[in-house]
């Protein structure tokens, strides 16, 4: 019988939740790395027991951890993230040049085929790669150096590269997203990059349709349709059907189109999920009701999913990396909140329950479907 | 042997309990102690000072014999009791944050 392992990164450590395929009873392990911020942890599709974790601290900096046994034991691996060459500057909040400074790893994305190859998205925004299981990391400098890097500017949460999508059919084809620069794509494994932000409109930047500068919160892709991308932007839910060349808005009848995560059903490429948040200045659900919205038409028409979710006095947020799906039938959907709950639905979002509550603020949720 | 007291999180990371003891060759300074610390416990690389610049991380402080040496040059000699091992060199995480 299949099993599910949920990897949860929080403000004060990592937690690993496991269940059988029924997804009714959950065992919680952790905290791992207690007291440290765990921005993200993710398992290798090629070897699910190989898990990488980003462990950070305002005091002690960045640590990278690797497990070879599904998270039972961990070893610290390389933590040197040196920008290639002379880093140069990007724009600071006030528009002045500011030196590129490594702060932390926001996101780890293991290769689909090689457990020793992992990409890391970092703040200040750049992409690094290891091919030796995390012992050493090298920047892919073509991203920062493609031409617009000097114009990138941090969002309120920092200038982080937070999303890395790898085309399952062509691993050299990748999409990444940066707050607040936008989406970029590569067809050659990360050597050369191009901005992919046409069609985005952000009223809060000097040129609302600029080539870069958009605060993209998250992008998602269904493995069977690598040309279709979905996006939760600072405001607006968007989709592209041509690999990011052109985006169109699909916010439709959402109560608010501000939010952070977006994800795609494992078996229905046009079924997508978002968690609407009141506004950029009010990071909690509208009316104190925690509602996941599901569109079965790839956007525009949305339905609220509320069964099992708090529908009064709920003022948590759901961060960009804190939603994931499993690949069981029916598809499981999972998300974590800044209030420390991880909610799961074993039926595509129709019914929800908290599989753990009272954790520290949840930063990230990843799900592994295991044999 | 030089005695070094680490913050709790770094003890966990280095998988040690209590003080660590280090053999330091040459003058006993912040720099030589941190060199020996990082050689003995490579998982601590980058956690006390920057990998490349060797600059002290902002929320780390160094104390020896009741004095704050955080702003002293890395190659400045430390008090003799540190070299004799009768007093520990303290690496302290600033009390800040939540």
What phi, psi does A339 have (nearest 5°)?
-90, 0
CA dist list (Å): A168 to A111, A173, A291: 10, 9, 31
Q: Does B48 touch chain A (CB under 8 A)?
A: yes
Instruction: Please judge whether A63 and B97 are an interchain contact, meaning their C-beta atoms are less than 8 angstroms apart.
Output: no
User: Do residues A219 and A259 make contact, with C-beta atoms less than 8 angstroms apart?
Assistant: no
- Tally A–B CB contacts below 8 A: 41
ipTM score of complex: 0.94
Q: Does B9 touch chain A (CB under 8 A)?
A: yes
Strand pairing category for B2-5 and B89-93: parallel
Q: What is the pLDDT of residues B2-57, one digit of tens each?
A: 999 999 999 999 999 999 999 998 999 999 999 999 999 999 999 999 999 999 99
The one-character DSSP state at A258 is B
A135 → chain B, closest CA residue: B43
Q: Does B13 touch chain A (CB under 8 A)?
A: yes
* Residue numbers in B near A82 (CB within 8 A): 51-52
Q: Which of A59, A62, A82 sits opposite B52 (nearest CB)?
A: A82
Q: Which chain A residues touch B if contact means CB-CB below 8 Å?
A: 35-36, 57-63, 76, 79-80, 82
Query: pLDDT by residue for chain A (371 residues), tens digit each?
Result: 799 999 999 999 999 999 999 999 999 999 999 999 999 999 999 999 999 999 999 999 999 999 999 999 999 999 999 999 998 999 999 999 999 999 999 999 999 999 999 999 999 999 999 999 999 999 999 999 999 999 999 988 899 999 999 999 999 999 999 999 999 999 999 999 999 999 999 998 889 999 999 999 999 999 999 999 999 999 999 999 999 999 999 999 999 999 999 999 999 999 999 999 999 999 999 999 999 999 999 999 999 999 999 999 999 999 999 999 999 999 999 999 999 999 999 999 999 999 999 999 999 999 999 99
* Residue numbers in A near B43 (CB within 8 A): 63, 76
pLDDT above 70 for B60:
yes
Top pLDDT among A193 and B98 is at: A193
pLDDT above 60 for B72:
yes
Evaluated on CA atoms A110, A114, A116, A117, the torsion sign reads: negative
pLDDT above 60 for B98:
no
C-alpha A259 chain-centroid distance:
13
- What mean pLDDT is reported for chain B? 95
């Amino acid at each position: 019988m299949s099993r599910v392992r949920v990897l949860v990164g929080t403000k004060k450590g990592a937690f690993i939740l496991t269940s059988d395929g029924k997804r009714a009873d959950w065992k919680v392990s952790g905290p791992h790395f207690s007291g440290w911020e765990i921005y993200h942890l993710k398992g290798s599709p090629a070897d699910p027991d190989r898990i990488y974790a980003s462990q950070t601290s305002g005091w002690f900096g960045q640590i990278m951890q690797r497990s070879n046994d599904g998270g039972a034991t961990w070893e610290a691996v390389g933590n040197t993230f040196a920008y290639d060459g002379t880093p140069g500057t990007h724009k600071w909040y006030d528009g002045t040049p500011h030196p590129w400074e490594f702060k932390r790893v926001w996101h780890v994305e293991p290769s689909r085929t090689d457990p020793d190859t992992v990409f890391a998205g970092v703040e200040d925004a750049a992409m690094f790669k290891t091919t030796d299981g995390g012992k050493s990391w090298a920047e892919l400098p073509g991203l920062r150096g493609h031409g617009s890097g000097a114009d990138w500017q941090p969002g309120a949460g920092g200038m982080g590269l937070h999303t890395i999508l790898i085309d399952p059919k062509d691993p050299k084809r990748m999409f990444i997203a940066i707050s607040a620069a936008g989406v970029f794509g590569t067809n050659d494994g990360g050597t050369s990059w191009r901005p992919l932000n046409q069609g985005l409109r952000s009223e809060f930047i000097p040129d609302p349709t600029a080539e870069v500068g958009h605060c993209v919160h998250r992008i998602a892709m269904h493995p069977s349709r690598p040309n279709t991308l979905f996006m939760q932007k600072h405001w607006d839910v968007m989709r592209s059907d041509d690999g990011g060349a052109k985006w169109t808005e699909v916010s439709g009848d959402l109560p608010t189109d501000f939010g952070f995560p977006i994800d795609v059903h494992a078996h229905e490429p046009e079924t997508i999920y978002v968690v609407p948040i009141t506004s950029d200045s009010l990071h909690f659900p509208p009316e104190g009701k925690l509602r996941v919205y599901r569109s079965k038409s790839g956007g525009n028409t949305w339905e609220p999913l509320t069964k099992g979710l708090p529908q009064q006095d709920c003022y948590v947020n759901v961060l960009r990396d804190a939603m994931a799906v499993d690949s069981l039938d029916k598809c499981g959907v999972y998300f974590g909140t800044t209030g420390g709950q991880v909610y799961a639905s074993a039926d595509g979002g129709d019914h929800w329950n908290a599989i753990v509550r009272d954790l520290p603020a949840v930063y990230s949720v990843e799900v592994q479907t295991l044999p | 042997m030089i005695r070094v007291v680490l913050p709790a999180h770094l003890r966990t990371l280095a998988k040690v309990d209590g003080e660590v003891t280090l053999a330091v060759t040459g003058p006993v300074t912040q720099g030589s102690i941190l060199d020996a610390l990082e050689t003995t416990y490579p998982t601590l690389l980058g956690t006390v000072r920057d990998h490349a610049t060797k600059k002290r991380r902002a929320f780390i402080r160094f104390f020896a014999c009741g004095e704050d040496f955080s702003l002293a040059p890395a190659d400045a000699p430390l008090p003799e009791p540190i070299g004799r091992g009768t007093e520990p060199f303290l690496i302290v995480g600033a009390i800040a944050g939540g």
